[in-house]
Amino acid sequence: MSITVYGFWRSIASFRIRVALKLKALPFEEISVDILQGEQFKPGYDAVNPEHVVPTFIHDGHSLYQSLAIMEYLDDIKPSPRLLPDDIKERAYARSLALMTIADAHPLTVPRVRKHLAKAFGAETKAIEEWAAHWTTEALAAYERFLARRAPAPFALGKDVGLADICIAGQVVGAQYLKVSLDAFPLVKGLSDRCFALPEFLSSHPFEQPDYKTSGVKH
């Protein structure tokens, strides 16, 4: 099985895919596409992904896009360990938690949105950072409310780590970028701490990636 991922250290969506692949114990090669420098718009990558985003997942020559679709595909090609529960109600709940970041919060904070805020509305750096922090905090607050109704045991859907945990951990990574404190979200913080105690999460963290370590960026 040959798997290649076009990703980037700062990409939270790429983080999700790294974690999922490592939980599945599937070896892969990651090729860095610097989305901050515009490499996603170059002809070479346009041929890989016409949407000009990361990640792009290639399995035995077959390309897939969008982190949720990729993670569900991984469950299909390697059913164990499961990222999504077998029970249909639990599976839908896991997707619901995942989409709170994938569909609602994360898309509002990505580089192309930040650039548009600056170009279309003249937003300055401070205003853009406040925008991103606002939507990141909204997502953390939503997760805290859901975890208060159904406490992690120890993970979002019970004893096994899965899709929902990957997405919540990714939202925490976004908070780290923006220096958003987790003090107001103890349930989210506890769940994240348990996730990052696992080597699959820790080694997938953006600050552990080779392209981050050579970027010169400080966190």
Q: Is the peptide bond before 154 cis (omega within 30 degrees of 0)?
A: yes
Q: What is the pLDDT of residues 149-167, one digit of tens each?
A: 999 999 999 999 999 999 9
Measured torsion, CA atoms of residues 102, 103, 104, 107, in degrees rounded to the nearest 10? 70
Q: What is the pLDDT of residues 1-50, one digit of tens each?
A: 799 999 999 999 999 999 999 999 999 999 999 999 999 999 999 999 99
d(CA 12, CA 187): 21
pTM of the full structure: 0.96
Rounded alpha-carbon distances, angstroms, from residue 214 to 6, 157, 204? 17, 37, 16
d(CA 72, CA 59): 14
Go through the domains of the chain in sequence order and give each one's CATH number. 3-81 (3.40.30.10), 88-202 (1.20.1050.10)
